């Protein structure tokens, strides 16, 4: 079986967030009783004012941090602190590439950690790199890439283990609008192709509405869930989607909810 045929039919996991609060040492409360049920395979965006607690929630879902109270279940299984969350991948705002490694060798990193044999590692990494459209750049080093290309490498590195849950924390925020829209479209295609569950944190209302099936809007810190908005746009979204009346109406609705949360 080809690599593509073998790995193109993953399925997502469900994520259940129940009454999650987080208080950091020194009394900073970042999350206040947040509950969200995310069905397997859903694409959810999270929006909220700067500093409200979005990254905190993502880190808790990833198992990089612990909730103070409340629980996270993945496919119904209660997640305990320190559990290894195989099947979960995280993409940060900065690409975090290793400068001394080529594109190919950067994408191989997660497989090295899993102990995947060399030949197999190479096949899977090549496939992930092709999926993000970087096949021509496999021998380049991070310093020889544009910001958009670096982010593609970061995405390929997240996808190489075929995650069932992909968490993205403002991944394209530092890129120009054109590159960002281009990457949005690629991410959407990858999501449709893989069936993984995606949780995407962004400050861009347009990006959230374009990408997701659902938008969760958080309040100022401590983050509470203010609104949970379904986005009934067709799965196949193109540049025209951005002028669809449904798109415009939902963007307006999200804007209304967020407006009350920003300091004047």
Residues found near ligand ATP in the complex (CB under 6 A): 24, 28, 30, 48, 50-56, 221
State the binding partner of 79 from Mg ion, ligand ATP, none, CB within 5 to 8 A by kind: none
State the binding partner of 30 from ligand ATP, Mg ion, none, CB within 5 to 8 A by kind: ligand ATP
DSSP string, 176-204: -HHHHHHHHHHHHHHHHHH--EEEEE-S-
Q: How far is the CB of 224 from ligand ATP (least distance, A)?
A: 12
Residue ranges of E strands in 48-102: 69-74, 77-78, 88-91
* Spatial contact of 148 and 175, defined as CB atoms under 8 Å apart: yes
Q: How far is the CB of 111 from Mg ion (least distance, A)?
A: 28
State the binding partner of 230 from Mg ion, ligand ATP, none, CB within 5 to 8 A by kind: none
What is the CA 218 to chain-centroid distance, rounded? Answer: 17
Please identify, using beta-carbon distances, which residue of 50 and 119 lies nearer to ligand ATP: 50
Taken as a whole, the chain contains a residue count of 264
How far apart are the C-alpha atoms of 69 and 87, rounded to whole Å? 24
What is the CA 260 to chain-centroid distance, rounded? Answer: 26
Q: Can residue 45 be called a binding residue for Mg ion (CB under 5 A)?
A: no
Please identify, using beta-carbon distances, which residue of 173 and 233 lies nearer to ligand ATP: 173
Whose tokens are 């809007």? That residue is: 217
Q: How many amino acids of this chain bind Mg ion (CB under 5 A)? A: 1
State the binding partner of 24 from ligand ATP, Mg ion, none, CB within 5 to 8 A by kind: ligand ATP
Please identify, using beta-carbon distances, which residue of 51 and 256 lies nearer to ligand ATP: 51
Please identify, using beta-carbon distances, which residue of 55 and 102 lies nearer to ligand ATP: 55
Q: How far is the CB of 161 from ligand ATP (least distance, A)?
A: 25
Q: How far is the CB of 162 from Mg ion (least distance, A)?
A: 26
Please identify, using beta-carbon distances, which residue of 170 and 184 lies nearer to Mg ion: 170
Residue ranges of E strands in the chain: 15-24, 28-38, 43-47, 69-74, 77-78, 88-91, 165-169, 197-201, 214-218, 225-230
How many degrees, rounded to 5, is the angle at CA 96 between CA 90 and CA 100?
135
Task: Show the binding pattern over residues 52-81: x = contacts Mg ion (CB under 5 A), - = does not.
Answer: ---x--------------------------
Q: How far is the CB of 75 from ligand ATP (least distance, A)?
A: 25
Please identify, using beta-carbon distances, which residue of 67 and 142 lies nearer to ligand ATP: 67
End-to-end CA distance of the chain: 58
Q: Could you tell me which residues come within 8 angstroms of residue 143 by beta carbon, excluding any fewer than 6 positions away?
A: 99
Q: Both tokens of residue 139?
A: 């021998």
How far apart are the C-alpha atoms of 48 and 205, rounded to whole Å? 10
Residues that bind Mg ion (CB under 5 A): 55
């Amino acid at each position: 079986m080809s690599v593509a045929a073998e790995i193109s039919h993953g399925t997502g996991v469900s994520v259940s967030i129940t009454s999650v609060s987080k208080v950091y040492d020194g009394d900073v409360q970042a999350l206040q009783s947040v509950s969200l049920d995310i069905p397997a395979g859903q694409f959810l965006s999270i929006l909220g004012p700067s500093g409200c607690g979005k990254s905190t929630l993502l880190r808790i879902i990833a198992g990089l941090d612990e909730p103070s109270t409340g629980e996270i279940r993945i496919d119904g299984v209660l997640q305990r602190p320190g559990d290894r969350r195989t099947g979960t991948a995280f993409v940060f705002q900065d690409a975090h590439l290793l400068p001394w490694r080529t594109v190919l060798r950067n994408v191989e990193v997660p497989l090295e950690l899993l102990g995947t044999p060399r030949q197999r590692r190479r096949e899977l990494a090549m496939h992930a790199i092709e999926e993000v459209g970087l096949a021509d750049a496999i021998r380049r080093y991070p310093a020889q890439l544009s910001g958009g290309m670096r982010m593609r490498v970061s995405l390929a590195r997240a996808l190489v283990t075929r995650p069932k849950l992909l968490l993205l924390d403002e991944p394209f925020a530092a890129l120009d609008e054109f590159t960002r829209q281009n990457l949005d479209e690629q991410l959407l295609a990858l999501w449709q192709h893989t069936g993984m569950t995606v949780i995407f944190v962004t400050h861009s209302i347009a990006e959230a509405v374009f990408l997701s099936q659902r938008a969760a809007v958080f309040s100022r810190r401590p983050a509470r869930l203010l609104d949970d908005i379904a986005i009934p746009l067709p799965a196949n979204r193109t540049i025209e989607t951005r002028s669809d009346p449904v798109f415009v109406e939902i963007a307006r609705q999200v804007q209304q909810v967020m407006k009350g949360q920003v300091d004047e």
